[in-house]
Amino acid sequence: MDHVASLAAPRPADATRPLMVLAVDDDELFLDYLTLELETLNCMVMAAANAEQAIRFLDHHAFDMCITDWQMPGMDGLALVQQLRSSHGPDQFLHVVMTTARGDARTVRAALDAGVDGFLFKPLDRLQLELAMASARRNVLLHQRLRRRNHHLAVAHGRTREAYRRMEADLKAAAALHRQLLPAPHSAGDRLRLAWTYRPAQHISGDTIGVIPLRDGKRLFFLADAQGHGVPAALTSFHIHHRLAQLAPDTPTALEVALAELNREINAQALESYVTLICGVLAPGSGDGCIVRAGHPSPLLIGPNGIEPMKLEGAFPIGWFEHATFEAEPLRLAPGTQLFLYSDGVTEARDKDGVELELDGLRAMLTAAPEASVDVLVSHVDAALRARRGNAGLEDDISILALEIKGDRE
């Protein structure tokens, strides 16, 4: 149950409600007279003959107002006001008026410092009392209205926070589901070594990475980037990932058919979403396979001859045109060569001065880790990208997938 909503709402401000008044005076006759007058002014009065009795009443009853004498045997009025002010929280309200025969400046100053709101001078005059009570009533009503408004604000704020908390929990759950789709690390005996990094700019990302085992030891690998951000992009990338794993194409023709199918599915969604993608099939035994570039930056080949983007004709992004085709181009990954797939969040990562990394910057990062395994390479680039952004956080999702085939002698 919502703990804020369960708080009792303060009573509505009611101008006709009697004011609850605590009257304190050691002069029984004066106390009697004050009580009678107050009752004619729509007040309910509890009368205390001394400060100690007044404190007991205050402990057990709620008052709007306290009218206390100054000079009393035992605890005087000033000490009473000091004590009740110090025991009251800042949100508690009690209008305090002091009755006194003394009207000099020092007396008034001392009473003000103790927390007195007004004075009534003895002998008491009816008009003076009416004026004081009218002022007290206005204060009480104003206080009640403020309390009520604060209560509504607190309830509304609590509901907003609760809604936000639920949404955040949902997003975290969705992000966790998405993470479960990401590739498992390679096993020790596997010829195909793989490493990846996946850093959503928000809770959930339009990027996804997959490495899916096929029959005969082949692998389907992909890195997709659904355009846009947040939930719609994440749903699209989730769809792409799920469908590719389901269709599991293992030949060039099957890959072309699968991507044409996915293209129709995304295109049929009324949303203006589309996906850029690198997707391929690789046989780790031979290093042969095929690859499709759909509107996505070409992956890099990192080898003895340097770092170059793969030369691929490419096709439209997935989802643009209903009848688009996606030609699978040949891929050959020799031992000692690495295939480096990345999302444009990598090359568009800005430093603190707003300068984008671009392909040359990425190449320089990769060159700084020569002859590294894919694991070392990806951690190196990941760390360098984070260092580049500093404390600013990511603007765009960052995804990297690197693959290499272990040679027989390694």
Partner 1 sequence: MTASGPDDDIALIDVDVDRLDAAAAPALKARLQARLDGSARKILLNLERVSFMDSTGLGVLVSLIKMLGKDGAIAVTGVQPPVRRLFELTRLDTVFRMASGIEEGKAALRG
Of 280 and 295, CB closest to partner 1:
295
What is the nearest approach in angstroms of partner 1 to the Cβ of residue 347?
11
Distance CA 335, CA 23 (A): 96
Cβ-based nearer residue to partner 1, 276 or 399: 276
CB atoms within 10 A of CB 379: 15
Cα–Cα distances in Å, from 79 out to 55, 102, 116? 11, 17, 11
Q: Report how far Cα 389 is from the mean position of its chain's Cα atoms.
A: 21
CB nearer to partner 1: give 310 or 405.
310
- Cα separation, 282 vs 334, in Å, equals 11
As measured in angstroms, the least distance from the Cβ of 232 to partner 1 is: 13
Shortest Å distance, C-beta 351 to partner 1: 17
Q: Which is nearer to partner 1, 24 or 277 (CB)?
A: 277
Q: Hey, which residues between 213 and 272 contact partner 1 (CB under 8 A)?
A: 227-228, 272
Cα–Cα distance between 251 and 263 in angstroms, integer?
A: 18
First to last CA, the chain: 61
Applying CB under 8 A, does 329 fall inside the site for partner 1?
A: no
Q: Are 371 and 175 in contact (CB under 8 A)?
A: no
Residue 11 beta carbon to partner 1: minimum distance, rounded to whole angstroms: 50
| Shorter beta-carbon distance to partner 1: residue 116 or 310 | 310
Query: Among the residues of 329-390, which ranges form H helices?
Result: 344-347, 358-367, 374-389
- Tell the smallest beta-carbon distance from residue 258 to partner 1 (Å): 19
Measured from the CB of residue 397, what is the shortest distance to partner 1 in angstroms?
12
User: Taking the CA atoms of the chain, what radius of gyration do you get in angstroms?
Assistant: 39
Helix (H, G, I), strand (E, B) or coil at 320: coil
**Closest among 326, 338, 327, 343 to 385, alpha carbons compared:** 343
Q: ∠303-306-311 over CA atoms, to 5°?
A: 85
Q: Which is nearer to partner 1, 77 or 319 (CB)?
A: 319
CA distance 250 to 178: 24
Q: Report the site for partner 1 in 261-320 (rule: CB under 8 A).
A: 272, 274, 276, 295-297, 314-317, 320
- CB-CB neighbours of 14 under 10 Å: 9
Tell me the one-letter amino acid at 322.
E
Size of interface with partner 1, in residues (CB under 8 A): 14
**Nearer to partner 1 among residue 121 and residue 321 (C-beta):** 321
CB of 307 to partner 1, least distance (A): 18
CB nearer partner 1, residue 72 or residue 278: 278
| Gap between the Cα atoms of 88 and 76, Å rounded | 19
Determine the longest span between alpha carbons in the chain, in angstroms: 112
Rounded least distance, CB 236 to partner 1, Å: 12
Residues that bind partner 1 (CB under 8 A): 227-228, 272, 274, 276, 295-297, 314-317, 320-321
